[in-house]
Structure 1
Amino acid sequence: MTNSVKMYNRNGTKMFELHIVPHSEVGKTSVNLRSVAIMKDTSIIVGDAERSVITKHRSSDGSLIDTVSVQTPPYHLAIDSKDRVVVSGEGKQVDIVEVTGTSLFSINPKIDSQQVEYCKGVCCDSSAIYIAVSNGVRTGHIHQYDTQGRFLSCIAQGLYDPMGISLTSDGQQLAVADYKSVKIYNKV
């Protein structure tokens, strides 16, 4: 496991390395960096599942702005259109929190009226939150929720083991990392 995030420019040249703990604690504090997301103001949010914290950094130099505790270990992160942080810990729920760590609400996905076992990847667009969920191998779904956490639709089901999701740059397709394959779904 790494204890830093390395930032590169478009041509592959390393710009800087950011640490999620103060420099005096680097190498002394155990971390498990699992996720990263970018806010509208270009601040970098990093998820540390070991300590259940998210850290906020300046995109210009990676300097640490703030560290806040979150209820769910941040294995997967997304930033929604309101700059709220969507946090999935691979457990049974997804939390929507302010960047200050203030919990706003949770989404508790269900498959066939039963609470799911695993919430994995998350992503957002201006009108929805998308969550990869499953109850084990060959039970994966992609669910769509509105920005208040209300279920809208099941976009895909029967996935092998969805690990992560993202919208394409034009926002018209949803890419799903499904174990050893990537599946692309057109938004309708």
Structure 2
Amino acid sequence: MYNRNGNKMFEFHTVPHSEVGKTSVNLVSVAVIKDTIMVGDWKRLVITKHRSSDGSLIDTVTVQTKPWYLAIDSKDRVVVSGSSQQQVDIVGVDGGTLISIYPKINSQQVKYCTGVCCDSSAIYIAVRNGDCNTGHIHRYDTQGRFLSCIAQGLHSPHGISLTSDGQQLAVADWESVKIYNKV
């Protein structure tokens, strides 16, 4: 954990101290909810919850979808994007899948669900059909219903985020970053 000045404050582990060095992990995603840091572990199919003040392990929640990408929605639920698992799950902070989203492009199940982010009324998901230049950004309501396609023809979108004012969407599209204005 680093402070705003870039100084290291502390390190923390995603397994109990007795398991450090004994348990294999693959940490690939992170999201913050209030004073809790959520870390996605692809290998163990879990999300670990940590205190932001010292990194201490609060809980470990098992998930069905590999947590390649994480976001927190306006209802304090964890949105888990599973990459090649072709789905996005909305999970309660104490575990358990509440809603599963299976994005489609042209009525066909997508091959990859990558980056996710949320605002107060929607969930944004980066998807693609495997080949380059098939990437889309889709917008869903908080119940997982498709609302619109925001962008298409992207090379290979991965990380996505809204700006702090919520008026623009930034998309890491392989070798470039694209910014979309909210309309």
Q: TM-score, normalised by structure 2?
A: 0.98
Confirm whether residue 87 of structure 1 aligns to residue 115 of structure 2.
Answer: no
Equivalence for 2:36: 43
Equivalence for 1:78: 71
Where 1:9 maps in the other structure, the secondary structure is coil
Equivalence for 1:174: 169
Equivalence for 2:12: 18
Confirm whether residue 163 of structure 1 aligns to residue 158 of structure 2.
Answer: yes
Where 2:18 maps in the other structure, the secondary structure is helix
Pick from 129, 135, 156: which aligns with 2:123? 129
Q: CA deviation at 1:18?
A: 1.4
Confirm whether residue 54 of structure 1 aligns to residue 47 of structure 2.
Answer: yes
Distance 1:180 1:60 in 2: 35
Q: Can you give the 5+ residue segments of structure 1 that lack an aligned partner in the other structure?
A: 1-6
Distance 1:83 1:52 in 2: 20
1:139 partner amino acid: T
Equivalence for 1:144: 139
CA shift digits 1:36-83 (9 cap, x unpaired): 0001x2200000000000000001000000001000010000000111
Equivalence for 1:68: 61
1:84 partner amino acid: R
Q: How many percent of aligned residue pairs carry the same amino acid?
A: 79
Q: CA deviation at 1:170?
A: 1.1
Distance 2:95 2:170 in 1: 28
Distance 2:61 2:86 in 1: 22
Distance 2:35 2:94 in 1: 16
1:183 partner amino acid: K
Equivalence for 2:24: 30
Deviation >4 Å, runs of 4+:
none
Q: TM-score, normalised by structure 1?
A: 0.95
1:80 partner amino acid: D
CA shift digits 1:77-133 (9 cap, x unpaired): 000011100001102110000011111010110000111010000000000000000
